[in-house]
Amino acid sequence: MELGDKAVGFLLTLTSLSIFTYYTFWVIILPFVDSDHFAHKYFLPQEYAILIPVIAGVVLLSFLSIFVGLVMLKSKKKKKTT
C-alpha cells in the first residue's frame, strides 16, 4: 500500500510541476518571443492564460461552497433529531 501511495504522490507532483512549467513559460517567457517562432504553435492564445485559471477558481469555489452548505444542513438536521 505504501508503494501505491508513493506512486500516486509522485504522479501528482510530476503533473503539478509540468502544469506549472507550461503555464510559467506560456505567461512569462512567451510574450518576449517573436510571434513567428515555432514555440507559439504549442500554446493557446494569451487570453486563455487568464480565462482558464479564473474559470477553474470559480468552479472550485462553487463546489467548495456547495460542500460546506451541505455539511451545515446535515449537521443542522442531526441536531434537530437529537
For residue range 9-63, list pLDDT tens digits in order: 999 999 999 999 999 999 999 999 998 999 889 999 989 999 999 999 999 999 9
User: What single string gives the DSSP state of each residue in 2-61?
Assistant: HHHHHHHHHHHHHHHHHHHHHHHIIIIIGGGS-TTSGGGGGS--THHHHHHHHHHHHHHH
Could you give the number of structural domains in the chain?
1
pLDDT at 76 over 90: no
Domain range for 47 is 3-79
Residue 1: pLDDT band with limits 50, 70, 90: low
- R_g (Cα) of the chain, nearest Å: 21
